[in-house]
Amino acid sequence: MSQQYVHLVAIATVKEGQLEKLLEEVKKITEVVHNTEPDILRYYCIQTKNAKGLDQIIFVEKYTTEEAFKAHTASAHFQAFAGKFSEFLAEPLDIKVGSFIAGHEVRASL
């Protein structure tokens, strides 16, 4: 039986003037996640703009299991981040959870 990873993408559209504050919070939580949650295999963000020209932060996440995902969302650091997060948003967070279809994550050097 194959591993059932949880793949998640969350798109945050940022209020005008709030990008720098949000980036500070994002950098804090990504460091804590990296240091304390070994069952999160991928947890990074990219910055872009939407069609209206508003800044967006796109979170890309991969968890070993559904339980790892639930543990992350229940963690004290995530709860603290989530409590602040909505003040930075221009519109509701757009979260997509899906299954891997095709592609690669790492290229090995031989």
Q: Which domains does the chain have, with CATH numbers?
A: 6-92 (3.30.70.100)
Per-residue pLDDT band at 3 (split at 50, 70, 90): confident
Per-residue pLDDT tens over the stretch 47-100:
999 999 999 999 999 999 999 999 999 999 999 999 999 999 999 999 999 988
pTM of the model: 0.89
DSSP string, 11-40: EEEBPTT-HHHHHHHHHHHHHHHHHH-TTE
Tell me the angle at which helices 76-85 and 66-74 cross, rounded to the nearest 10 degrees: 70
Residue 107 has what pLDDT?
66
Is residue 1's pLDDT more than 50? no
